[in-house]
Chains A and B, each alone.
Chain A
Amino acid sequence: MIAPALLWTLVFFVVPFAAMVLMSLAHLEGREVVQGYALDNYLRIFTDPSLRKGIFVSLEITALVTVLSVLLAWPLAWIIASRVPPRWQRLVLLLAVLPFWTSYVVRSYSWALVLGEKGVVMNVLVGIGLLAEPVQIMATRAATVIGFTHFFVMLLTLTIYSNLIQLSPNYARAAEDLGAPKWKVIWLVILPLTLPGVMTGAFLTFVLCIGDYITPQILGGNNELTMPQLIMLQLGRRGDFPMASALSIVLMAIVTLAYLASARWLRMERV
């Protein structure tokens, strides 16, 4: 009974992945892939400035987005869990994550619409006199970060909210009875108790953000390329499958490292 699912995973996931590892050791001669067993592609990723830069661009954007999303989502989740009347909470939460369910492409397009030179944001900012003339946001890193943060604030609000409502109200009550002011209750009692939810959400954010091609491609443009953009460029420009494979494996290695780091951190937190 388990066999069909295992077989499917084996044939369409494990085998392609193994083939990708092999492919990353090959190289291109003309337009032909020549199988070899050399680490040249990996060496090039870390020495070629344009490729190496991709790793840093991806890491910087992902780190910034993860931190920003946690900082914005936590208060939102807390307000929904503790300020909104219980019978409205589900509805408010549903509304707060509604755009989460639009397709990636459509969501990024909507931001292109909003952030463009003639878009709503520039119209309002210039209209109320905050800006003398429109500033370019589209096709910069700022647009990518805004588009990503929008998505991951929703994701994190979900994970942190579900963590918050599972907490017993007794913790906060005990701290209040013992004379702690409200902000101290939040900062020293509630916040630490939500760290597992925050960490899970932050890890998901990291994984999905660093592997996404659409948002940086639509909003960030071609000025500075992230790793997924570089992978697609290798495929599109000259069908350099070996290089695309090597880049993919480096990307996976980064995700694995992030997992190991956060898993260890979480376990320490529980002890």
Chain B
Amino acid sequence: MRLLSWAYLVAAFTFILLPVVVLVVFSFQDSRLPVPPFEGPTLKWYAEILADRALMEALVNSLIVAFVSALVALVLGFLAASGLARVYLPGTAAMRALLIAPMTVSYLIIALGLLQMFNTLGVRPSLWVTGIGHVVINLPLCFAILYAAIGEHQKNALKAARDLGASEVQVLWFIAAPMLAPALGAAFFLAFTFSWDEFIIAFLLTRFDVTLPVEIWSMLRSGLSPATNAVGSLVFLVSVGIVLVLEFTLFRKKSK
């Protein structure tokens, strides 16, 4: 049983890590095709992609849209969560449901809806429109994380501050934000990764100022290439870096 367990673990890890390992290894391939036999290693594909203007612009676009949309989603989610958690209004449940609703809808459908609406309004596809779409998918996430982080203790502190004469802004800035700092960090980084990796919304809602996943998509049309491996490895590195930061901050919260 014990031996079987370890064998299964190894097999599962092989299956899970195989594509990523192959992706990274063959980004150092010293020939035109990223398939065995492995020749190299070489860094020339990394040099090539770093010199690729279109790719670097897409990278910057991705960073911008991820940062701005994560921030907007965080602020909106924070306001809504601290508002909804503190007061009991009729319809609280309905408002909560409405805010969470976009989570259950496929990104493709959200993208299609926005595309049609902006078409009708005569707004052209752009990075801004993509950012709007990314806030739509990330707002429920931020709201849910922050809402879940506000327990009885936090609620009482918020109410006490209000009773003691703090203004709405003071309550948010001096009480709610510091108290929810770990959750705010987690929500921001998660939203950032989701936007950074998102493809279909960016694909339908940008035209010239594309994001990195869309640019990689268009690279795929020319078939397999070690250059694509190199970009993929870089994207992977960024995502894993963010996850490690997240893990580190969550871990810190736990040990306190």
Chain A residues proximal to chain B, CB less than 8 Å: 1-2, 4-6, 8-10, 12-17, 19-20, 23, 72, 75-76, 79-80, 83-84, 90, 94-99, 101-107, 109-114, 116, 118-120, 123, 150, 153-154, 182, 207-208, 210-214, 218, 228, 231-232, 235, 241, 244-245, 248, 251-252, 255, 259
Per the bound structure, the CA–CA distance linking A150 and B12 in Å amounts to 10
Per the bound structure, the CA–CA distance linking A208 and B1 in Å amounts to 34
Count contacts on B: residues with CB < 8 A to the other chain. 79
B106 in contact with A211 (CB, 8 Å): yes
Given contacts A13-B113, A16-B114, A245-B112, 7 further A-B contacts (CB under 8 A): A5-B139, A9-B101, A20-B116, A96-B13, A98-B240, A103-B197, A207-B106
B83 in contact with A109 (CB, 8 Å): no
Q: Does B46 reach chain A (CB closer than 8 Å)?
A: no
Q: Does B104 reach chain A (CB closer than 8 Å)?
A: yes
Per the bound structure, the CA–CA distance linking A128 and B79 in Å amounts to 60
**Nearest CB in chain B: distance from A24 CB, A:** 10
Q: Does B35 reach chain A (CB closer than 8 Å)?
A: yes
**Nearest CB in chain B: distance from A112 CB, A:** 7
B5 in contact with A4 (CB, 8 Å): no
B114 in contact with A102 (CB, 8 Å): no
- With a cutoff of 8 Å between Cβ atoms, the chain A residues found around residue B160 in the complex are none
A231 in contact with B116 (CB, 8 Å): no
A251 in contact with B109 (CB, 8 Å): yes
- With a cutoff of 8 Å between Cβ atoms, the chain A residues found around residue B236 in the complex are 99, 101-102, 106
Q: A9-B98, A102-B197 are in contact. Are A113 and B34 (CB under 8 A)?
A: yes
Per the bound structure, the CA–CA distance linking A211 and B5 in Å amounts to 34
B9-30 interface with A by 8 A CB criterion: 9, 12-13, 15-20, 22-23, 26
B76 in contact with A5 (CB, 8 Å): yes
- With a cutoff of 8 Å between Cβ atoms, the chain A residues found around residue B197 in the complex are 101-104
Nearest opposing residue in chain B for A92, CB measure: B9
Chain B residues proximal to chain A, CB less than 8 Å: 1-2, 5-6, 8-9, 12-13, 15-20, 22-23, 26, 33-36, 76-77, 79-80, 82-84, 95, 98-99, 101-102, 104-110, 112-114, 116-117, 119-120, 132-133, 135-136, 139, 143, 168, 193, 196-200, 204, 212-213, 216-217, 220, 224, 228-229, 231-232, 235-236, 239-240, 242-243, 247, 251
Per the bound structure, the CA–CA distance linking A268 and B120 in Å amounts to 46
Nearest opposing residue in chain A for B36, CB measure: A123
Q: A2-B83, A13-B110, A103-B199 are in contact. Are A23 and B116 (CB under 8 A)?
A: yes
B77 in contact with A113 (CB, 8 Å): no
B34 in contact with A96 (CB, 8 Å): no
What DSSP secondary structure best describes chain B's contact surface?
helix
B136 in contact with A9 (CB, 8 Å): yes
- With a cutoff of 8 Å between Cβ atoms, the chain B residues found around residue A255 in the complex are 104-106
Nearest opposing residue in chain A for B79, CB measure: A1
Q: A76-B9, A150-B15, A211-B108 are in contact. Are A101 and B193 (CB under 8 A)?
A: yes
Per the bound structure, the CA–CA distance linking A113 and B22 in Å amounts to 8
B18 in contact with A114 (CB, 8 Å): yes
Nearest opposing residue in chain A for B80, CB measure: A5
A106 in contact with B12 (CB, 8 Å): no
Q: A9-B99, A101-B193, A102-B235 are in contact. Are A235 and B117 (CB under 8 A)?
A: no
**Nearest CB in chain B: distance from A16 CB, A:** 3
Nearest opposing residue in chain A for B83, CB measure: A1
Per the bound structure, the CA–CA distance linking A97 and B16 in Å amounts to 8
Q: A79-B9, A95-B13, A213-B108 are in contact. Are A13 and B102 (CB under 8 A)?
A: yes
Of A4, A113, A207, A232, the residue contacting B19 (CB under 8 A) is: A113
Of A10, A14, A15, A106, the residue contacting B235 (CB under 8 A) is: A106
A96 in contact with B108 (CB, 8 Å): no
B224 in contact with A19 (CB, 8 Å): no
B239 in contact with A103 (CB, 8 Å): yes
